[in-house]
Amino acid sequence: MINLAGNKLMVNVENLSVSYRQQRKEVPALRGVSFAIPRGGTCALIGPSGCGKSTLLYVLSGLLGSFSGRVLVDDEPVQPLRRQTALILQDYGLLPWKKVFDNVGLGLDIRGINGRERTARVQRVLLEVGLWEMRDRYPSQLSGGQRQRVAIARALALEPDLLLMDEPFSSLDALTREKLQKQLLDIWQKKRMTVVLVTHSIEEAIFLGQIIIVLSEHPGRVVDIVENPRVGEPGYRKTPEFHALTTVLREKLIP
């Protein structure tokens, strides 16, 4: 499975179709979706509301097991509870009854990692996202951006090689969103885990996705896969190429 460049595929999806059962009717959500993401790459999923982006992420995380087609994660058929996969959902990630520290440590608790190892890991990731001072607060005492960073910290604490994010920044104001996008980029450049990010924002897709997968209206099909190799270059957001790509994507999304 290793190709000549030594670039293993982290995610390989072939002809994936998913349908939900609703009142005895099969409602298709995704139809014949194929794409691949190399190990250590980033991918942005973009498409109109209801086209199946979250569904696709659920399939990749292993939480949704009923689909047809082939989905390989790290060369293995996708399975629930793969230990190196972390999923961040939009709003519901954090448990209101746990303090920041324990929210971040939750994945470790569940995996039976405790004691000094747990403390050390939680401290490290909280420092990484700049929230160590907030460790004794409850989620309700944090701003939206801080909460999202806690959710990211919780995922990072698992030391994932595949990070799945469902519209992680969409409820934030523009300024905070850009800051967090940059922070995510920094983290990715340091750790080089594979990132799959669902977004509604064209800018965000271009800023973060080396591969941008454009999905069609419901049921989701791949409209196009856009390569965007300059992700992570300093000042990319200000280049003419960035803006040109915005226009290209906008046209693909709103034909």
Partner 1 sequence: MHERGYIKKTAATAASIAFLLLGWELLAVMLASPALPRPLPAFITFVREIPAGLWRHFLISSYRVVLSILLSLALALPCGMVLGREERFDRLAAPLVYLVYPVPKIVFLPVLMVLLGIGDISKIALITLVIFFQILVPIRDAARGINAGVINSVKSLGAGRWDIYKHVVWPAVLPEMLTALRVASGTAIAVLFFSETIVSQEGLGYYLLDAWSRYAYREMFAGIIAMGLLGFIIYMALDYLERRLCPWKFV
Ligand X SMILES: Nc1ncnc2c1ncn2[C@@H]1O[C@H](COP(=O)(O)OP(=O)(O)OP(=O)(O)O)[C@@H](O)[C@H]1O
From the list 12-20, 54-62, 114-122, 148-156, the region that binds Mg ion by CB under 5 A is: 54-62
Least distance from partner 1 to the Cβ atom of residue 6, Å = 30
Which does residue 61 touch among partner 1, Mg ion, ligand X, none (CB within 5 to 8 A, set by kind)?
Answer: partner 1
Pick one of 27, 95, 120, 225: the residue that binds ligand X (CB under 6 A): 27
Which does residue 78 touch among partner 1, Mg ion, ligand X, none (CB within 5 to 8 A, set by kind)?
Answer: none
* Cα–Cα dist 114/157, whole Å: 12
Instruction: List the one residue out of 64, 5, 61, 7 whose CA is nearest residue 30.
Output: 64
Per CB under 6 A, 29 contacts ligand X: yes
Q: Is 225 left (phi over 0), alpha (psi -120 to 50) or beta?
A: beta
Instruction: List the one residue out of 84, 58, 56, 98 whose CA is nearest residue 156.
Output: 84
Per CB under 6 A, 51 contacts ligand X: yes
> Which CB sits closer to partner 1, 194 or 216?
194
* Cα–Cα dist 153/235, whole Å: 26
Structure tokens at 234: 């300093």
Pick one of 3, 23, 49, 140: the residue that binds ligand X (CB under 6 A): 49
> Which CB sits closer to ligand X, 49 or 66?
49
Q: How would DSSP label each residue in 110-173?
A: HTT--THHHHHHHHHHHHHTT-GGGTTS-GGGS-HHHHHHHHHHHHHHT--SEEEEESTTTTS-
Least distance from ligand X to the Cβ atom of residue 50, Å = 4
By CB under 6 A, the count of residues binding ligand X is 12
> Which CB sits closer to ligand X, 19 or 228?
19
From the list 8-16, 51-59, 205-213, 244-252, the region that binds ligand X by CB under 6 A is: 51-59
Exposure class string for 67-88: b at 16+ Cβ within 10 A, else e:
bebebbbbeeebeeebeebbbb
Least distance from ligand X to the Cβ atom of residue 31, Å = 11
Binding site for Mg ion (CB under 5 A): 54
